[in-house]
Amino acid sequence: MRAATAEERYHVRPLALRRTVNVLSVDVEHWYHRSCVPGTQYLLDVCDAYGVKATFFVLGKVAMEYGALVREMSARGHEVASHGWSHTPVSVLSPTQFRDEVVRTRDLLASLTGQPILGFRAPVFSISRETWWALDVLAECGMRYDSSVFPIRGLRYGIPDFPRKPVRYVGNGHSLIEIPLSTLRCAGINIPVSGGGYFRLLPGIAIRWIVGWVNREGLPFVTYCHPYEFERQMLLHLLPFTPFSWWGARRDEVKTNILRQTMRGKIARLLASFPFTTFKELLRDEI
Ligand SMILES: [Zn+2]
């Protein structure tokens, strides 16, 4: 008997997009005690400078605190989507708790923007094989797409055998588009390259080469970043108000600050070099 394909395993089918346009997405959350507002304002301005619209996955707690910022994202032509309410990984939520987070955030963001909320990104890319049920919950809550699957073998997240391309998940009486984060396929392995710490570590020229390579495969490049990555100051944990040990906090600071000052230049060159848009626009004919 032949083994099931990845598409059969995850109940997905390929999605043929008419255009290959890249997506800039921002996960809008604070960095511990550092507000996400200055970094978000920087990103809104840099998008304006290059005529780019982005998708902002906003945390419900942030939206409750900074409603004017969410309204501004929408007023400036960007897509506002959901990053959940409390940044709790899906893996530690029950389906009922997850549904409550999705509905609560969806309703708040919709009331702030006056627009339906169509998309979701899970905290810490926490939709995995074990939490695959979350796609059913998202579809039942009216979400039209999700971009939480990282098709890699990661320490904290990832589904290594998931397709690298946009697919449609078909559940029981509903469906949802899944747009995985971009990877580079090399020697039979998917290498994570699409944002965050990977962008901080990679040289800008390498990032642009990878985006071109992924586009030549006929795939949109789906990138992600966080407002704190565009802060100019060192990001420091203010002990004792962190969940880390002293050493854990120092390690996290090094990881967060290393090469972070290169991010402004890298994003600007990227937006100048390739077309970027929102998920909503990329999926215009599908949702
Ligand atoms: Zn996040």
List the CATH number of the domain containing 155.
3.20.20.370
Name the average pLDDT for the chain.
93
Query: Within the chain, where are the H helices?
Result: 6-9, 37-49, 60-65, 67-75, 95-113, 133-140, 196-201, 204-216, 246-257, 263-273, 279-282
Taking the centre of ligand 1 as the mean of its atom positions, its distance from the CA of residue 1, in whole angstroms, is 41
Nearest to 105 by CA among 59, 43, 151, 55: 59
Taking the centre of ligand 1 as the mean of its atom positions, its distance from the CA of residue 39, in whole angstroms, is 14
Taking the centre of ligand 1 as the mean of its atom positions, its distance from the CA of residue 181, in whole angstroms, is 14
Q: Once rounded to an integer, what is the mean pLDDT over residues 143-167?
A: 94
Q: What is the DSSP letter of 36?
A: S
Kindly state the tokens that stand for 137.
Answer: 């919950």
Kindly state the tokens that stand for 8.
Answer: 């059969």
**Domain contains 4:** no
**Rounded distance, CA 45 to CA 24, Å?**
14
* pLDDT(240) > 90: no
Taking the centre of ligand 1 as the mean of its atom positions, its distance from the CA of residue 273, in whole angstroms, is 26
Taking the centre of ligand 1 as the mean of its atom positions, its distance from the CA of residue 124, in whole angstroms, is 6
**Domain contains 1:** no
Nearest to 60 by CA among 28, 14, 95, 19: 28
pLDDT of residue 32: 80
pLDDT of residue 250: 83
Q: Which residues surround ligand 1, an ion (CB under 5 A)?
A: 27, 29, 123
* pLDDT(244) > 80: no
Query: Within 202-278, where are the H helices?
Result: 204-216, 246-257, 263-273
Taking the centre of ligand 1 as the mean of its atom positions, its distance from the CA of residue 84, in whole angstroms, is 9
**Domain contains 248:** yes
Taking the centre of ligand 1 as the mean of its atom positions, its distance from the CA of residue 150, in whole angstroms, is 14
**Residue range(s) defining the domain that contains residue 35:** 14-281
Instruction: Report the number of distinct structural domains present in the chain.
Output: 1
Q: Quick one: pLDDT band at residue 16, thresholds 50, 70, 90?
A: confident
pLDDT, tens digit, for every residue of 52-90?
999 999 999 999 999 999 999 999 999 999 999 999 999
**Domain contains 56:** yes
Contact of 35 with 65, CB cutoff 8 Å:
no
**Domain contains 127:** yes
Phi, psi for residue 285 in degrees, rounded to 5: -85, 0
**Domain contains 130:** yes
pLDDT, tens digit, for every residue of 114-140?
999 999 999 999 999 999 999 999 999
**Domain contains 7:** no
Taking the centre of ligand 1 as the mean of its atom positions, its distance from the CA of residue 123, in whole angstroms, is 4
More confident residue, 251 or 58: 58
pTM attached to this predicted model:
0.95
pLDDT of residue 50: 98
**Greatest Cα-to-Cα distance within the chain, rounded to the nearest angstrom:** 58
pLDDT of residue 214: 96
Taking the centre of ligand 1 as the mean of its atom positions, its distance from the CA of residue 208, in whole angstroms, is 24
